[in-house]
Amino acid sequence: MGSATGSEVGHAGRLDYDRPMTPGAEVRILHELGEDGLRRLVSSFFCRARTDDVLGPVYRASLDATGEDWPDAERRLAQFLIFRMGGSREYIEQRGHPRLRARHMGFAIDAGGAERWALRMREAMAEAGVPDPIRGELGGFFDQTAAWMVNRADGPGGGPDRGA
């Protein structure tokens, strides 16, 4: 499988990966939701990801490879979002620089998988009661992040692809 470029992701037309957060959005998001609100958002996301036919197998493969479990993955994502929005530095202290793309390179992520991840995040924001203005900012951030993780052209993808 070849690598997908940003333009290939853009052809899908579903992710708004070209919309950066407005200046100061991180501060507003953390102030509005707080660290507990971000944890609730992540918990809602993982309730969906566990049973999702695209995301579930990718997460299970990752957890199998690392010997970790679902609560570990949930805690890591929450710590990352809290750090990214200007909160606790626990993520950096435990894991170092996020290196998101490098950390996800071992898994075949195509545009469809990225879109599914962003969709589940949008659903989680709705369930967690994230207010509309914050939902818009976070939605753009999630779309950008998901698009950045794409490392394969559209196709079946979705599991470990260690040989690429």
Query: Within a domain: residue 57?
Result: yes
> In the beta sheet, which residues pair with residue 107?
160
With a pLDDT cut of 70, the percent of the chain lying above it is 71
| Residue 113: Cβ-neighbour burial (10 angstroms; 0-12, 13-18, 19+) | buried
Q: Based on the structure, what is the number of domains in the chain?
A: 1
Handedness of CA 11, 16, 22, 26 (dihedral sign): negative
Name the nearest CA neighbour of 158 among 89, 118, 107, 105. 107
Residue 97: inside a domain, yes or no? yes
Residue 42 lies in a domain: yes
The answer to whether position 16 is within a domain reads no
CA dist., res. 109 & res. 111, Å (int): 7
As given in the structure block, the two tokens for residue 42 are 């992540």
Q: Helices 132-149 & 25-51, crossing angle to 10 degrees?
A: 60
What CATH number is given to the structural domain containing 38?
1.10.490.10
Domain assignment present for residue 82? The answer is yes
Please check whether residue 29 lies inside any domain of the structure. yes
Is pLDDT at 89 greater than 90 in this prediction?
Answer: no
Does residue 144 sit within a domain? yes
Q: Which pLDDT belongs to residue 160?
A: 41
Residue 43 within any structural domain of the chain: yes
Q: Please write the tens of the pLDDT for every residue from 24-61.
A: 788 899 999 999 999 999 999 999 999 999 999 989 98
In the block, tokens 């196709």 appear at: 155
The answer to whether residues 107 and 98 touch, using CB atoms and an 8 Å cutoff, is no
pLDDT bracket for residue 2 (50, 70, 90) = very low
By C-alpha distance, which of 117, 114, 118, 120 is closest to 154?
A: 114
What is the pTM for the complete model shown? Answer: 0.77
- Which residue has 């969906």 as its token pair? 48
Domain that holds residue 135: 23-148
